[in-house]
Amino acid sequence: MKHSDNSGQTLRILTYNVHRWLGTDRQISPTRIAEVIGSCEPDIVALQEVRVGRVRAGEIDQAAVVASTLGMDLHFQPTIRILGEQYGIAVLTRHSSRVVKSGRLPTQSTRPSFEKRSALWVAVEVDGLTIQVVNAHLSLRSGERRTQAAALVGSDWIGHPDCAEPAVLLGDFNAPPYSRSYRMIANRLRDAQLSNSFGEPQPTFHTRAPVLRLDHVFVTKSIEVVDAGPVRTPLTRVASDHFPLLAQLRVRKHSKAGAGRHAHEEELL
C-alpha cells in the first residue's frame, strides 16, 4: 500500500462523498461503500455525507460497519442531527491519528441552517511522519462557499501555525475549477489532479453522467503527486452519486515530522 524510498514516503489518500450510503440504484449499502474504499487500498480516507445510525432496529451503526470492515479508526464530525440520527464528515485511517480540530465553517444565513457545513482536521502518523489532513464539505451557495473557502485557507485551518508541512486539504467543495471559491484554494495549495502527468483532470460528479469536478485533493509544497484521479469501476458507478477521488502522494522525508504534534485539541465550535 505504501513504501519508503530515498525520495520520501508514499501514501494513498481518498476523498469520497458517499451520499448517505445511498447508491444510484436507491439501495442503502454501507458494506458496498466499504468494498469500494477497500479496493482503493488507501492509507487515509476523507468521507462526506456520512450517515451515522442504524438502518433497522438491532443493526449496528452504519459508519461503524464501514470502519470495522476496513480495519480503520473513525473520526466523525456531525453536520446534521435529525430524529436520533447524525450526518456529517469523517476521516478514517489505520495509522495512529488524532483529531486536532473540528468545527463549523462560516455561514451567511441569519437563520438556523439545516446542515452546518464543517471541517475536520486530523493529524495522521505514517511511519514517523505527521500528515495534517483537513476534510471539508462546502455549501451549495456560491457566496457562502467563498466565505468557507477563505476560512479554510485562513489562520483557523490550513494557515494555522500547527498545520505545517506536509498538509492535505480535501473533500467535496461543490466548486468546479472555474469558480471563485476553487481559485481561492488553488492559489494557496496545489490541486492534485493538475499535478499528475496522466492526462486531463476528470470530473467526479454525477456517476451517471460525470460532467462536474467538485471533489478535490489539494496539497502543500512538500508533497509530490504521483497520480490522482476519480476511480471509475462498475461498482463506483452505482455505489454513490460521486466517484471516489484517489491520490497517490509522495512526501519528502526532510519535512518536519513533528509539526502539529502540540496542537491543542478543540471542542466542536
Q: How many domains does the chain have?
A: 1
* Residue 208 included in any domain: yes
Give the distance from CA 127 to its chain's centroid. 21
* Cell 446534521 -> residue: 80
Domain assignment present for 260: no
**pLDDT digit string, tens, across residues 179-195:** 999 999 999 999 999 98
Closest Cα partner for 118 from 155, 76, 158?
76
- The per-residue pLDDT for range 125-154, each reduced to its tens digit, is 999 999 999 999 999 999 999 999 999 999
Quick check: is 55 in a domain?
Answer: yes
Domain-embedded: residue 256: no
Rg (CA), the chain: 17
pTM of the model: 0.90
Does any domain span residue 259?
no
Q: Which residues form the domain of 127?
A: 10-251
| pLDDT value for 62 | 87
In a domain, residue 120? The reply is yes
Confidence of residue 267 (pLDDT cuts 50, 70, 90): very low
CATH number at residue 110: 3.60.10.10
Higher pLDDT, 1 or 37: 37
Q: What is the pLDDT of residue 9?
A: 87
What is the pLDDT, as a whole number, of residue 115? Answer: 75
Considering the domain boundaries, does residue 261 fall inside one?
no
The arithmetic mean of pLDDT across residues 243-249, rounded, is: 98
Residue 265 lies in a domain: no
Q: What is the mean pLDDT of residues 100-123?
A: 85
**Bond prior to 206 in cis (omega within 30° of 0):** yes
